[in-house]
Amino acid sequence: MTREELLTLFEKVGALQAGHFQLTSGLHSAQYIQCAAVFEYPKTAGKIVKQLVGQLPKGVDTVIAPAIGGINLGYEVARSLGCRFVFTERENGLMALRRGFALKPQERVLVVEDVVTTGGSVKEVLDIARQHNCTILGVASLVDRSQGKADFEVPFVSLLSMRIETYRPEECPLCTAGQPITKPGSRSSSGLQ
């Protein structure tokens, strides 16, 4: 599947949206990525995940993803690889393994996230894997918005690299044009979408 075909699929299912958006960071943008929309359509999600799985390392014991964005993708990747899946979530503001999930020393893990912008959540999950002395095989995402800035010190695979222009509210051309704004964010606190 080409980059253009992937972008068309993302647009078709509503994962790539155009408009005027206020991101959770407070910045404004004319585009928004909502990868959860991909998983509303299992057949389409299956095609997309198949593309990603074909690029992943072999021998993964466990896929681990940060909640909430990485859960659907992480589960589908683990199902495709035939391995275990766990996720982390925030507890007192810090990413943690909860719900009885545990990792073992030398367990071969792959960290999966839907969209990487700054890489902060992925780095927190990597820290958890390192604290458990896991063997980290890499990181995978559907979309990399970091513009090459996310460095995980392990192999990083992404289906799409996208540069989405953002603006400070006082410099936003969409605001100047009077275009209505939408706040689609995935978090209630600050952090980039």
Residue type, 121: S
pLDDT tens-digit series, residues 61-102 = 999 999 988 999 999 999 999 999 999 999 998 999 999 999
**Average predicted confidence (pLDDT) for the chain:** 90
In a domain, 192, yes or no: no
Residue 3, token pair as written in the block: 């980059």
Query: 121: alpha, beta or left, given left = phi > 0 and alpha = psi -120 to 50?
Result: alpha
- Determine the Cα–Cα distance for residues 78 and 95; give it in Å rounded to an integer: 20
Distance CA 40, CA 38 (A): 6
- Give the span between the Cα atoms of 57 and 49, in whole angstroms: 14
| Alpha helices (H) along 90-161 | 120-131
Give a yes or no: residue 133 inside a domain.
Answer: yes
Q: Is residue 57 part of a domain?
A: yes
DSSP 104: -
Residue 187 belongs to some domain of the structure: no
Residue 161, classified by CB atoms within 10 Å of its CB into exposed (0-12), middle (13-18) or buried (19+), is: middle
Nearest to 166 by CA among 34, 29, 32: 29
Answer whether residue 189 is part of any domain. no
pTM summary value: 0.86
Residue 186 lies in a domain: no
What CATH number does the domain containing 87 carry? 3.40.50.2020
Residues in contact with 79: Cβ distance below 8 Å, sequence separation at least 6, in sequence order: 85
Structural domain including 10 reads 3-176
Into how many domains does the chain fold? 1
* Span 43-62, pLDDT tens digits: 999 999 999 999 999 999 99
Is position 183 within any domain?
Answer: no
| Domain-embedded: residue 114 | yes
